[in-house]
Amino acid sequence: MIGIRLILYVVGFSVTVVGGVSTIAYLNLFPRGYSIAGYFLFLSHRPEAYLLPIGLLLITISIFLPNR
């Protein structure tokens, strides 16, 4: 069981890093005239932006997965 938790944590951490970096990189859209609403609308159409919440979910599952 500890192996599954470790794998879920490492995969979740990796996916979170990729999603977080791309989300931060898209902050460069603000100097180009995007508003907050436009930024989130743009992010909602980018598939890599969904990696951040998916990774956080995997990390949460790995932490709170019950022991057997």
CA separation for the pair 16, 53 (Å, rounded):
7
- According to the model, what pLDDT value does residue 31 have? 84
- Tokens representing 36 are 């907050």
Query: With 90 as the cut, is the pLDDT of residue 68 above it?
Result: no
- In whole angstroms, give the CA distance from residue 68 to residue 66: 7
- Per-residue pLDDT of 36-54, as tens digits, reads 898 889 899 999 989 999 9
Per-residue pLDDT of 16-36, as tens digits, reads: 999 999 999 998 888 888 888
Q: CA–CA distance from 38 to each of 21, 26, 61 (Å)?
A: 19, 11, 32
Query: What is the reported pTM?
Result: 0.83
H helix or E strand, kind and range, residue 48 = none
Which pLDDT does position 50 carry in this prediction? 94
Which pLDDT score is estimated for 1?
65
